[in-house]
């Protein structure tokens, strides 16, 4: 309406009010942190709101960083899947299990629980799975395998993980049994591995 004058300052909190509210919030946060009020124990689950925030933060962060990662054209090749099966057995199955694999003591003690990839391995895209395996996830037991493994081996793990959902236990055992047995042989090809203590 023409000529209508609205004084927005009357409808907004004053700078003094905002400053006092911010100071009180900071004091409360300080007391909350330094008094150890929040139980960080792994056997005491987060509240639903906290878990929702952390889960949303994790999912959005992974999706944003996985954009633009090029997926190899041969991701479904038998060679990649076989190599990935050997790596998965040594590095992943203790937490993420596999078809017909009983829950280990380690997997039962984790919080947040590691996803059972034979059940929900297809929930993420190949690029997202690659990013997680390479970079790990803060505030979880997921390590950053990219510090010790080159991209081709990480893609091999992704290739195998993509095959896990719906895989019968007998097929899982067969693929694992036929996988390359010597992890050290694969790792020898990595630059700098030979110089590390204990490397052959």
For the chain, domain boundaries? 83-182
What is the per-residue pLDDT for 186? 64
Residues of the chain with pLDDT under 50: 1, 194-200
Residue 14 to residue 19: CA distance in whole angstroms: 9
Q: HEC profile for the chain?
A: CCCCCCCHHHHCCCHHHHHHHHHHHHHHHHHHHHCCCCCCCCCCCCCHHHHHHHHHHHHHHHHHHHCCCCCCCCCCCHHHHHHHHHHHHHHCHHHHCCCCCCCCHHHHHCCCCCCCHHHHCCCCCHHHHHHHHHHCCCCCCCCCHHHCCCHHHHHHHHHHHHHCCCCCHHHHHHHHHHCCCCHHHHHHCCCCHHHCCCCC
83-182: CATH topology is Cytochrome Bc1 Complex; Chain D, domain 2 (1.10.760)
The answer to whether the predicted template modeling score (pTM) of the entire model surpasses 0.85 is: no
What is the per-residue pLDDT across 55-107, written as a single tens digit (0 to 9) for each?
Answer: 999 999 999 999 999 999 999 999 999 999 999 999 999 999 999 999 989 88
């Amino acid at each position: 309406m023409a000529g209508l004058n609205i004084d927005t300052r009357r409808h907004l909190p004053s700078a003094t009010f905002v400053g006092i509210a911010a100071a009180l919030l900071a004091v409360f946060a300080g007391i909350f942190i330094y008094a150890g009020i929040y139980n960080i124990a792994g056997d005491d689950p987060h509240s639903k709101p906290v878990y929702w925030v952390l889960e949303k933060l994790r999912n959005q962060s992974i999706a944003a960083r996985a954009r633009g990662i090029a997926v190899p054209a041969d991701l479904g090749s038998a060679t990649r899947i076989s190599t990935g099966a050997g790596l998965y057995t040594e590095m992943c199955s203790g937490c993420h299990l596999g078809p017909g694999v009983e829950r280990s003591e380690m997997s039962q003690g984790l919080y947040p629980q590691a996803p059972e990839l034979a059940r929900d391995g297809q929930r993420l895209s190949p690029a997202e799975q690659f990013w997680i395996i390479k970079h790990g996830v803060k505030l979880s037991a997921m390590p950053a395998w990219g510090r010790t493994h080159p991209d081709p081996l990480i893609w091999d793990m992704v290739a195998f993980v993509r095959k896990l959902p719906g895989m019968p236990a007998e097929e899982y055992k067969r693929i694992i049994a036929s996988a390359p047995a010597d992890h050290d042989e694969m790792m020898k090809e990595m630059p700098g591995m030979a110089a590390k203590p204990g490397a052959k």
